[in-house]
Amino acid sequence: MHIHILGICGTFMGGVAQLARAAGHRVTGCDSGVYPPMSDQLTAAGIDLVEGFDAAQLALAPDVFVVGNAVSRGNPLLEAILEQGLPYVSGPQWLADNVLQGRWVLAVAGTHGKTTTSAMLAWILEDAGLSPGFLVGGVPINFGMSARLAGWAQDSPFFVIEADEYDTAFCDKRSKFVHYRPRTLILNNLEFDHADIFQNLAAIETQFHHLVRTVPRNGLLVSNAREASLERVLARGCWTPVERFNADDGWRIEGDDAAGTLAVYRAGEPLGSARWALGGAHNRANALAALLAARHVGVPVEQGLAALSRFASVKRRMELRGVAAGVSVYDDFAHHPTAIATTLDGLRRRVGTARILAVLEPRSNTMKLGVMKEQLPASLRDADLVFCSAANLGWDAAQALAPLGEKAVVLDALEPLLERIVAASRPGDHVLVMSNGGFGGIHGKLLAALAQRGAG
């Protein structure tokens, strides 16, 4: 089959492309601003890329066009496909029909932690010799790739997928995850997000219940007991056994960030412990969810804990990009106030009283709309200094961060912001850059500027 993917450089669609190519299909694709690192991965996989969405691409004559959710009506190629009545399908639908069908799908849903939890789960299964396929919205360091059809055991039935609640395509406004039909489903947490497509939290809860409806009776729901929103979802109707975690009288996990330890308990009884490289209560909750999902396919908790001791996290999740002039620079994907707060808390627990300089780019659709702006000051409380990029915002970031007083610096342009960060930093500091985009390459520029200052 020849498929041509519209919007191929997005993380999800790029993963679909690589899975299709690994399955033996001919894959081509297009995007606006074909860019690395995804473009490099796709080219290396033998996938031909086209810049832009010109209708002349119809001449490629694929068997089907696969349309990413970043492609909207008015797109010239999409309009030409519709006008000529050519076959098209959404990315999640193509994935469900051609990759997930017949597999034991383990899906990870939730507002926060999907990528890290999916990576943990895939690694636990891999370490146990189950050789899963996976599609993750990041690059797990243990694998070095975001998508894989299967490991060494090509007949492995298991497939781990990050289950996103964002909508599917221009023609399908249901959440992507309703297409995946998992047998094992993790419900990590649920807050209001994606204000560009959801009116309120109740609307997102409805989509989560659509997902719950697809899990069979012989499946398993692994749900966070501390999330009232998830309890409301399950109260709408549930036909599958539920294993709740973060419950005082059930499954819970404890840890010491300074010592780098984890310990799992069930009904107060210890089941195992391990040392690991991650920190923060949010990552411990992610780990417990992954352990319980892996347990459902036959991996004992103790064995899963041993695998986590060898888990090396995910790129852009508290990733140390380098140290220059005694200043450590980290990169993190956090872009929602809750994620910002938990990420800072995790770093604070790791570095103790050392100064943390938080650098924030509010660029998600929700943040650009200003829906979460009032929550930002509290989410940044663990930072000693805050530097915020106000470029392309429809609201006043300086006013929103005013409760932080002189602790906050807000600027529109990247270079002046970079200069202020360098001027404020001193040996022993930890600079945490948080953005769900490239942030103008600020990490490398910051390290270079710090190194130059140190050399001077």
Alpha helices (H) in 223-274, listed in sequence order: 228-235
Indicate whether 315 pLDDT > 90: no
Indicate whether 46 pLDDT > 80: yes
User: What per-residue confidence (pLDDT) applies to 374?
Assistant: 84
Query: Which CATH number applies to 2-92?
Result: 3.40.50.720
Distance CA 315, CA 202 (A): 32
Distance CA 406, CA 403 (A): 9
CATH architecture of the domain formed by 319-455: Alpha-Beta Complex (3.90)
Residue 17 near residue 40 (C-beta atoms within 8 A): no
Token representation of residue 377: 């000051």
User: In one letter, which amino acid is 332?
Assistant: D
Q: What is the bridge-based pairing of β-strands 158-162 and 269-275?
A: unpaired
Facing residues of 29 across strands?
5, 49
For the whole model, what pTM was predicted? 0.81
Share of the chain above pLDDT 70, in %: 97
pLDDT digits (tens, 9 = 90+) for 97-156: 999 999 999 999 998 889 999 999 999 999 999 999 999 988 888 998 889 998 776 789
- Looking at CATH, the fold of the domain delimited by 102-308 is given as UDP-N-acetylmuramoyl-L-alanine:D-glutamate ligase (3.40.1190)
Identify the band that residue 217 occupies on the pLDDT scale cut at 50, 70 and 90: very high
244-253, 310-319, 430-439: the lowest-pLDDT one: 310-319
Share of the chain above pLDDT 90, in %: 57
Cα 378 to Cα 111, 147, 183, 398, 425, distances in angstroms: 19, 36, 38, 15, 22
Of 18 and 393, the structure prediction assigns the larger pLDDT to 18
Asked if domains 2-92 and 102-308 share a fold, the reply is no
Distance CA 287, CA 70 (A): 31
Structural domain boundaries in the chain? 2-92, 102-308, 319-455
Token representation of residue 99: 């990759």
pLDDT digits (tens, 9 = 90+) for 160-188: 999 998 889 999 999 999 999 999 999 99
Measured over the CA atoms of residue 311, residue 313, residue 315 and residue 318, the dihedral's sign is negative
Indicate whether 271 pLDDT > 60: yes
Indicate whether 456 pLDDT > 60: no
